[in-house]
Structure 1
Amino acid sequence: MTATVDVVLPCLNEAEALPWVLDRIPAGWRALVVDNGSTDGSAQIARGLGATVVREERRGFGAACHAGLLAAEADVVCFCDCDASLDPGLLTGFVAAVAAGEADLVLGRRRPQGRGAWPAHARAGNLALARMLRRRTGLELRDLGPMRAARRTGLLGLDLTDRRSGYPLQMVVRAADAGWRVREVDVPYLPRSGKSKVTGTWRGTWQAVRDMSRVLAEPAAGRPVAGGAR
């Protein structure tokens, strides 16, 4: 039986990027665009392009991602940035690995393509956090990229609580604590459309690092080992 798939796309003023992103959602998958307070007509554009729009009033990357997860109904849930820096069509391989039971969580390791794809300050913050993550979990991961896939039931069972920039990291930490099989796959990382809301500046990067450092300080806790029913 083929797994059903929902793709969560957290969105804050991404009107320019949405057509490119939604055009690359694989056929048969549902795009869940989570509007996190856009003022540029992103929600209307997304609806016009056939996406399901979820509103999340509380600002925060984690708040938007989790609202999408709660709205999802498919067997497998994917996450992808909505700024045209990552091609959601690449998620087909992620989903295949999860559906086949080869991995419980598949992450995209960003490989920058061209100048400006990954600013130096953002890359430096990511490298520092990845190093801390390896020490905390023992996982040989090199990136904390936002592109990922896992079974919906498993993700809900992780009881994720961060609603800011630490959400993607908390997902990996709690998955590791639960004994999930985590796989990292290289993906091209393109210059984003528009300005980053999280790591576009040194201040934004510092805030993200601070949010994620708090997650890394959480004590390990026993949780269900399986990454969701297969």
Structure 2
Amino acid sequence: MTPTAVDVVLPCLDEAGALPWVLGRIPAGWRAVVVDNGSTDGSARIAADLGATVVPEPRRGFGAACHAGLLAADAEFVCFCDCDGSLDPGLLPGFVAQLVSGDADLVLGRRRPVAPGAFPPHARAGNVALARMLRRRTGLRLRDLGPLRAARREALLGLGMTDRRSGYPLETVVLAADAGWRIAERDVVYHPRTGRSKVTGTWRGTWHAVRDMRAVLAAPPRPAGDLVDAR
């Protein structure tokens, strides 16, 4: 691959403590696109000092940050990774290799926690419930809806994601399934995050995330002509 063939989108909200480790794990030759979603702890400056491309996104929301990064990317392949130190972007070459080989159109990381507290019970319960609802909606038998993922940029843009909150990752999977994409999972190590989670760190945060995602699943399938086949 050429050095600009892969961009890694990293949604960021006050992740100063984790950024050095995360950015230090970006594969050589790949570009880190840190989307600053209103940080007040100097995250944007730290990311820029460490060589990342920093994209400001003032609209709060995980989906807003993800989509801003997707729009800012210009590589053929785009990966997404949390910026809190819980996931290792150094694992992403294996994801992209599956895309290049034609084995998959969208590759998702199945989180395998390595320490107590890495995947708290409320977050795990919400994830299981959503996986079941996703199966009923699409027929996909996925075991996780984790944020470490990879796909081709133009194909992702063609799906036309509209959610700008916690439902964005799930909406991507739903639309990809509706378009007939081949979706694969890879086991990935899941570490305790650095700092407090803004989404699933509490039962309340998990409930809000599940609510956003239930709305995605409740939406009727789009007409086939509105979706893009990744192949």
What is the TM-score when the length of structure 1 is the normalising length? 0.97
Given the alignment of the two structures, is residue 62 of structure 1 paired with residue 63 of structure 2, yes or no?
yes
Matching residue of 2:32:
31
**1:119 counterpart letter in structure 2:** P
Superposed, 1:80-229 pairs within 5 Å as: 80-221=81-222, 222=224, 223-227=226-230
Identical aligned pairs, as a percentage? Answer: 76
Q: How many residues align?
A: 228
Give me the whole-angstrom Cα distance separating, in 1, the residues matched to 2:228 and 2:19.
36
Deviation at 1:225, TM superposition (A): 4.7
Give me the whole-angstrom Cα distance separating, in 2, the residues matched to 1:109 and 1:137.
18
* Secondary structure at the counterpart of residue 206 of structure 1: helix
Given the alignment of the two structures, is residue 43 of structure 1 paired with residue 48 of structure 2, yes or no?
no
* Secondary structure at the counterpart of residue 111 of structure 1: strand
Give me the whole-angstrom Cα distance separating, in 1, the residues matched to 2:14 and 2:228.
37
What is the TM-score when the length of structure 2 is the normalising length? 0.97
* Secondary structure at the counterpart of residue 230 of structure 2: coil
Q: Which moved more, 1:95-104 or 1:60-69?
A: 95-104
* Secondary structure at the counterpart of residue 79 of structure 2: strand
Q: CA RMSD in A?
A: 1.1
* Secondary structure at the counterpart of residue 150 of structure 1: strand
Matching residue of 2:5:
4
Provide structure 1 residue ranges, at least 5 long, that are not aligned to the other structure.
Answer: none
Give me the whole-angstrom Cα distance separating, in 2, the residues matched to 1:140 and 1:44.
41
Give me the whole-angstrom Cα distance separating, in 2, the residues matched to 1:175 and 1:95.
17
Provide structure 2 residue ranges, at least 5 long, that are not aligned to the other structure.
Answer: none
1:87-126 deviations in whole A, cap 9, x for unaligned?
0010000011112221100000001111110111111001
